[in-house]
Amino acid sequence: MRLFIDTASPKEIEEAMRWGVVSGVTTNPTLVARERFPDFHAAVRSIAAMVDGPVNAEVIALECEAMVEEARVLAGLAPNVVVKIPLTPDGLAAVRQLTREEIATNVTLVFSAAQSLMAALAGADYASVFVGRLDDAGHEGMEVVRQTTAIFDRHGLETAVIAASIRHPLHVVEAALAGADIATVPFAVLRQLLRHPLTDLGIERFLADWRQVSGNR
């Protein structure tokens, strides 16, 4: 199980990398639009330089040839770029072509196990299941992660499963138990994952006791 950070904020990426628990980054157009980069390519280049692991950047085009063209440009920006492609018929055709060209792909906006299977059969390196958005729509998002990992395991499909659209720490724990290869997590959730009130209380008590011990000397 690995953790990626789901953000385009250099500040958040830097801090998360410092904690030593994050091995990649996922972005999407919404996340990049929140930051002050001169343009999209500058954003991808600068994020890719901060991280050794995969940096996921999404294409905007919807037609196969245009997606492939865009993906080639994104992949040329840095060796660790993974191209995010939406799960559509044209998207899958693009993934097939990019796989032939050895450009890494992450099929995104996956909302069912059937779609995960399609992504894997097209040759995607990663499939991103949007757990939180499924929950929002009244479905159990994690069930799609469970079904996807079961199908991939049973049939020896090598596509890595990313639990995406993560909203809280329990999503990460459940994704780990469901066998997801990766959970991509917003910075706020990453911070919540580390925190526990008993840890803070424990530190406070140790410090108070230590002050007493050193005061007695």
Question: Which residues belong to the active site?
Answer: 84
Residue 133 sits in the site that holds ligand G3P (CB under 6 A): yes
Residue 7 sits in the site that holds ligand G3P (CB under 6 A): no
Contact 71, 85 (CB under 8 A): yes
Residue 217 host element (H or E): none
Cβ proximity to ligand G3P: between 122 and 162 the closer is: 162
Positive or negative CA dihedral for 9, 11, 16, 18?
Answer: positive
Q: Which stretch, 47-55, 96-104, 119-127, 130-138, contacts ligand G3P (CB under 6 A)?
A: 130-138
DSSP 15-49: HHHHHT-EEEEE--HHHHHTS--SSHHHHHHHHHH
Q: Which stretch, 72-80, 112-120, 124-132, 192-200, contacts ligand G3P (CB under 6 A)?
A: 124-132
CA separation, residue 136 to residues 127, 132, 166 (Å): 20, 6, 11
Cβ proximity to ligand G3P: between 97 and 125 the closer is: 125
Among 3, 6, 87, 146, binds ligand G3P (CB under 6 A): 6
Total residues found in the chain within this entry? 217
Among 80, 105, 116, 184, binds ligand G3P (CB under 6 A): 184
Distance CA 158, CA 181 (A): 11
Helix, strand, coil shares of the chain, percent, nearest 5, are: 55, 20, 25
Q: Which stretch, 69-77, 93-101, 129-137, 151-159, contacts ligand G3P (CB under 6 A)?
A: 129-137
Cβ proximity to ligand G3P: between 6 and 12 the closer is: 6
Residue 9 sits in the site that holds ligand G3P (CB under 6 A): no
How many Å separate Cα 167 from the centre of its chain?
Answer: 12
Residue 113 sits in the site that holds ligand G3P (CB under 6 A): no
Distance CA 150, CA 131 (A): 16
Q: Please give the residues from 10 up to 29 whose contact with ligand G3P meets the rule CB under 6 A.
A: 26, 28
Among 35, 61, 72, 132, binds ligand G3P (CB under 6 A): 132
> In the complex, which residues of this chain contact ligand G3P (CB under 6 A)?
6, 26, 28, 128, 130, 132-133, 164-165, 184
